Structure formats: C-alpha cells, structure tokens
Amino acid sequence: MSEHHLTETRYASFDLVDEINQGLADAGFEFCTPIQQQTLPIALEGRDVAGEAQTGTGKTAAFLIAVFNQLLKHPPSEKRRKNQPRALILAPTRELAIQIHKDALLLGSHTGLVFGLAYGGTGYETQREELAAGVDLLIGTPGRIIDYFKQHVFDLKACQVVVLDEADRMFDLGFIKDIRYLLRRCPVPEKRLSMLFSATLSHRVLELAYEHMNNAETVRIRSDRPTADKVKQTVYYPANDEKVPLLLGLLESLQPTRSIIFVNTKRVAEKLFDWLEGNGHKTALLSGDVPQKKRQSLLRRFQDGEYKIMVATDVAARGLHIPEVSHIFNYDLPQSGEDYVHRVGRTARAGASGAAVSFACEDYAHYLVDIEDYIGHRIDNVPVDQDSLLTPKAPLKRKPKKPRGSGQHRNRHKHGKDKTSAGGKHGDKRHHKHRKSHQPKKVKQGASDSA
C-alpha cells in the first residue's frame, strides 16, 4: 500500500488475537486505511457495520480481520457439526471470491481456520467434497453456494458471521433474491455479526442492511471524486477508423507497465485482440465465455507479467485486484458512469497512481455526458493528431471455425446413408415407431451454477 493512502492508526492499537497480528506482519501491514480505521472498532466490538468506500481501499482486509477475530474469540458450540460453516462471505463474481480466498489464506495463515471456496464454472465435485469435509469460512458466489446448500452438503445454522462484499453489484447481477434466501437460513441478525461493504451505499443497499442486519452502523469514506484521486483521466475523440491506430500509438508513446483495455462486446474484444497480436503486442483476452480454468490461467499470467496487455469486457471490471496496472484504456466508452468508475478502479489501487484513457468515438461519445455527470467533473480532452496515430500492420489471421453440422454426421444426411433417416435401411416405419423416444424430456432445473 502507498504510505499516502494510510492513516496513522496501527493495527497493533486494536485488541486483535496474536495469530491475526502474525498474519498482518507476514503481509507487511502496519497502518490502517481509512475504511479499516473506521469500521474495525465497530466490528471488533461485535456490532454490525455497513461500509462505503472506493474500490481498492482495503475493504477486504477490513472484514477478514473482523471475521477472524470474532471466530477466534468466540469458539463454536459443542453441538456444531463439521459441515456447518462458522462464517459466510458472499461475493458477486468468481474473480472477487477467488481474490478474497487468496487474501484470507495470507492474513489467516496462523489462525488454524479452514477456508472453503465455492464458485461456478469449474471444480464442482472438488468444491463439494471440500465443503462436506468441513470449513470454518465459506467464501463464494451465491449460485454455487445455493446449489450445494439445497443438496444438504452444509447448512448455515452455526454461522456466527455474515459478510456481503460489493453489495451494489449483487443487485446489478440479479443476485438479491439468492442473497435473501441464504441470509434467511442463517441465525437471526441479533445472534450473528453482519458486515456489508459497497462502493455506494445506495437506498436499495441500505434497505437490505436494515432488513437483514442488527442496527448496522454506516461508515462512509468519500472522496471529492468517485474515481480514485490519483488517476489521471483523459479522453480522445477519434473517428471509428482511428481507434486502432490511436491505441497502438498510445501504447508506443506511454509504454504502460501493465494495462487493461476495456471494450463493450466480445466481438470487438476478439477483433482488437487480433490487431494487437498482429502488431507485436502479446495480449490476454478475457470475456464472459472464457472457461473458468483458462480465465484463471490468463489472470495469473497477466499478474506474473507474461502478458502486459489484457483486453477485457466488463467481466473484469469488478473484483479484480491486480497490482501495478499503470493504465486503463476505455477503447469503448462504457454505457454508465458506474461502469466507468469500476473500470477506472482497476488502476491506482491502494494509493498508487495510474492513468485512464478513454476513446469517445462516433458510436459511444454520447455516453460521455452521463459519465461526467456521475463522476462530478469534466475529463481532460486531448486532441487526436497525426503524431498520436500509428499505422497498423495487418491483424492476426484466425483459423476459420467449422460451421455447425459439418463433418461425418452432415455427410451421412447429404448422401442418404443415415440408417435412422427416412431414406435409410429401416425407412419411415422405424422412424415413426421410435418418434416418441426422441422427444426431449422436461428437466427440472436446479439452482444456477453460473455465478
């Protein structure tokens, strides 16, 4: 963390158990951030708290420290079964859940607590077995957790602490019914510690706090600007056909150490990836349909420096803590001020400085007014001139995908050689005889596993 981002309050000034202090020392943490300074005294006394702060200001450490302290100072009941988690931490995205789990392993390495992780897209049986074996902290996304809950892999009757992270995003992604479902399966608010953190404590988020928390005390850490103070924000107004040359020129002149380029659609992401690869920029591509294992591998390689550039849709705008992202490029302007803030929040984290460069092109320039209204200030305008543009080389050529129905199966139909078809050996009689068996069965759909 940058020293300018910290307060003069030391973690040592709080009544923390020794095992937590050892974890903080391992992480190199000595002084609190503002959100930690104001929320920890409340939560450490066992009182509920709802905190608002910009992304990248230490909210995760704030609630993890409070969770650890609560569990270590208040042992579980002797009646607790091994498949009853003592704490539940809910996150809106799998990336954020993974990051929280990673931070928990670091800060809680001396606590002896067992951490479980549950999120959709991969590792279904492995996660299931881990939870069935017993965990103290269950960290995950709502869809996968509800799936396991309904299978009676675990229950929440012994839950001593509940944390909702990025609560505003829970609403945006349509998880609020799932959240309420899980909270109602926990002990009543008076018999547990509850914490809620959000980039904005909007009316709907506060309503959730009033309904499922015990007189939560609100803490707001606000800046004059919703975006991080140390982000230099600029906007260019390129024509559509100038966007690629402008981006290549800026990458050449700015020499970012690590950058994320945001686009609005998967189609544009793939095209831009081809342009960057064709012009000598080794690039990671992250969009919503990238399989979970590949996504985690790409993020790890990006963090390790194998890739200096990542092209991403908004799937990467929330919940990722990637150190040393020097530049954010809005190749496509986002369609809301809130999305702009969260994209920009991927740089200048924990008090570092960064830059956010936006392209207000012919297709998306009209969103700029709403963005500037939301953030409360004008973004500096930089003119597009010939010195800013770099003539691109040809993009990477992709291998054409085979059309659906290609290959042997299609050929059998083409030449009338499919024995179950009307022209085959058994003719229409066999086809009609078994028609009923080919009708799709109605399948009862369970809880969503996509979270």
Domain ranges of the chain: 3-220, 231-388
Architecture of the domain made up of 231-388: 3-Layer(aba) Sandwich (3.40)
pLDDT at 426: 40
What residues contact 301, with CB distance under 8 A and at least 6 apart? 284, 307
CA distance 165 to 319: 9
CA distance 160 to 86: 5
CA R_g for the chain: 25
- Phi then psi for 388, rounded to 5 degrees? -85, -15
pTM: predicted TM-score of the whole model, two decimal places:
0.68
CATH 3.40.50.300 describes domain 3-220: yes
DSSP H or E stretch at residue 163: strand 161-164
CA distance 256 to 354: 10
CA distance 221 to 97: 23
pLDDT at 410: 45
pLDDT at 76: 94
pLDDT at 405: 54
3-state DSSP assignment of residue 329 = strand
Its sign, for the CA torsion 97, 103, 338, 310, is negative
Of the candidates 213, 155, 147, the one whose C-alpha atom is nearest the C-alpha of residue 185 is: 155
CA distance 161 to 158: 9
DSSP helix, strand, coil percent of the chain (3-state; round to 5): 40, 15, 45
What residues contact 126, with CB distance under 8 A and at least 6 apart? none
Q: Which residues pair with 261 in a beta bridge?
A: 311, 329
> Do 247 and 364 touch, CB atoms closer than 8 A?
no
Residue at 332: amino acid letter: D
Query: DSSP string covering 92-148, please?
Result: SSHHHHHHHHHHHHHHTTTT---EEEE-TTS-HHHHHHHHHH--SEEEE-HHHHHHH
DSSP H or E stretch at residue 372: helix 368-375
Domains 3-220 and 231-388 agree in fold: yes
Q: Which residues pair with 117 in a beta bridge?
A: 139
Of the candidates 186, 217, 196, 211, the one whose C-alpha atom is nearest the C-alpha of residue 85 is: 186
Q: Mean pLDDT, consecutive 10-residue segments, the chain of 451 residues?
A: 70 96 96 95 97 84 97 95 97 89 96 96 92 97 96 97 91 87 97 92 90 95 63 94 96 94 94 95 86 83 91 72 86 90 79 87 94 91 91 83 52 41 39 42 41 45
122's tokens: 């991969």
Q: Print burial letters for 99-129: b (CB count within 10 Å at least 16), e (below 16).
A: bbbebbeebbebbebbbbbbbbbebeeebbe
Of the candidates 365, 385, 342, 380, the one whose C-alpha atom is nearest the C-alpha of residue 234 is: 380
